[in-house]
A and B are shown apart, each in its own frame.
Chain A
Amino acid sequence: MKIPAGLRSEIKEIVLKKLNQEQNKAVIYTASKLTESEIDKIVKAIPELSGKEIKQIIDESIISGFKVVIGTTVYDYTLNFKLSSLKRINI
């Protein structure tokens, strides 16, 4: 399907805007609720989090640990991730 040139640039603009919006937001997926001091420590450890709007989501599928998502960047410190990385070991 060929997209007309004018529409193409419009779509690009919208996507970039959305991306910027997402880049200013950060979501922490966690197994159990984090305290404010814990969040501060996380922010200190991950400099990209500073100045961002942080949202916390309790994800029951997470065994333990947490996952920080900033736009398209993911910092995964969950046990799920550790277990799944074992799968990638080349036996």
Chain B
Amino acid sequence: MEQLGIDYKLLLAQLINFLLLFYLYKKFLAKPFSSFIKQQKYKEKLQEEYEQKLADLQQEKERILQSAKKQAQQEAETIIKAAERSAEELKKRLMAEVKQEVDRERKKQLAELENEKALFEKELKQKVLDIALKLTEQTLKEFMTEERKKEYQKLLINNLQKIN
């Protein structure tokens, strides 16, 4: 052994040293150290769990947001479509009312025109009649000489009883 360069005393002293160190470690350091390690592991585990929960919550939040967005969009579309339909109906109704009003007005004006035309025609005919009668009166006045007047009178008187 001495030929190999191993010193037994030194080896023994190192062994004792090691054992002593081991004993001291076991006695004084092992528990706190392992509890420290355990605590660290626990902390890490907790952190992981929290992180996982956080990630899950984030996902949930995203999902809820997306769903709310989608719902809001759908509702907005529904409202817009309903508004468009209402506007279209209102437009149709207004157009129909305007058309009716225009038709009514047109008929009224046509009726008024017809009335005016009839009135004008009547007036015109009356005027023509008046002029014709005046002309006839003038002509008769010129035509009726004294003789003719007497003759007409005679005829009238002779036929008076028949007239009455």
- Chain A residues within 8 Å of B, Cβ to Cβ: 30-32, 34, 38, 41-42, 44-46, 63-66, 77, 79-80, 83-84, 86-87, 89, 91
Contacts and interface: CB of A to CB of B under 8 A. Distances in A.
Interface of B: 122, 125-126, 129-130, 133, 136-137, 140-141, 144, 146, 148-150, 152-154, 156-158, 160-161, 163-164
Interface centre among A31, A44, A66, by most chain B C-beta atoms within 10 angstroms, is A31
A82 to B, nearest CB: 10
Contact of B153 (A31, A83, A86, A87): A31
Chain A to chain B: the 8 pairs with minimum beta-carbon distance, closest first: A45-B160, A64-B152, A32-B149, A91-B125, A31-B149, A45-B161, A41-B157, A63-B140
Contact of B154 (A38, A46, A77): A38
Contacts of A30: 153
A65 B153 contact: yes
Nearest to A44: B161
Contacts, number: 64
- Main secondary structure, interface of B, reads helix
B127 to A, nearest CB: 11
Contact of B144 (A31, A77, A84, A89): A31
